[in-house]
């Protein structure tokens, strides 16, 4: 499929290669879990970014940092979370995560 307009990120990433994983991602994870009202989207983003830093999932962190900003977290808050996690998740994981954040936010990093 060459036209990616209107596709979800999971559809663009793995498309027909693993349609069940796309369905679970779109319908269950983002369609149900992320939509539950018990936590705000902002809180879910902070928790998700923290979990991704903690387990070293920098591939997924890139997209979730952008989502976190869209959900109301500032660059400063996200950087501070990574700094805080350095002491709980390990220095190498925090250094890898902050490198991803620097790339996502740009070298200047406005703090907002």
| Residue found under tokens 């703090």 | 111
Closest CA to 94 of 110, 111, 76, 78: 78
pLDDT tens, 5-45?
Answer: 889 989 998 989 999 999 999 999 999 999 999 999 999 99
pLDDT tens, 86-107?
Answer: 999 999 999 999 999 999 999 6
Residues 45 and 9 in one domain: no
pTM of the model: 0.86
HSE-up of 1 (CA within 13 Å, CB side)?
12
Residues 50 and 12 in one domain: no
Residues 52 and 32 in one domain: no
User: Total structural domains in the chain?
Assistant: 2
């Amino acid at each position: 499929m060459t036209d990616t307009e209107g596709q979800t990120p999971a559809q663009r990433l793995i498309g027909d290669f693993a349609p069940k994983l796309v369905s679970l991602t779109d319908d269950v994870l983002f369609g149900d879990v992320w939509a539950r009202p018990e936590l705000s989207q902002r809180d879910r983003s902070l928790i998700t970014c923290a979990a991704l830093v903690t387990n070293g999932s920098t591939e997924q962190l890139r997209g979730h940092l952008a989502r976190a900003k869209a959900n109301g977290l500032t660059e400063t808050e996200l950087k501070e979370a990574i700094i805080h996690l350095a002491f709980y998740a390990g220095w190498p994981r925090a250094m890898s995560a902050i490198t991803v954040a620097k790339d996502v936010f740009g070298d200047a990093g406005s703090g907002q």
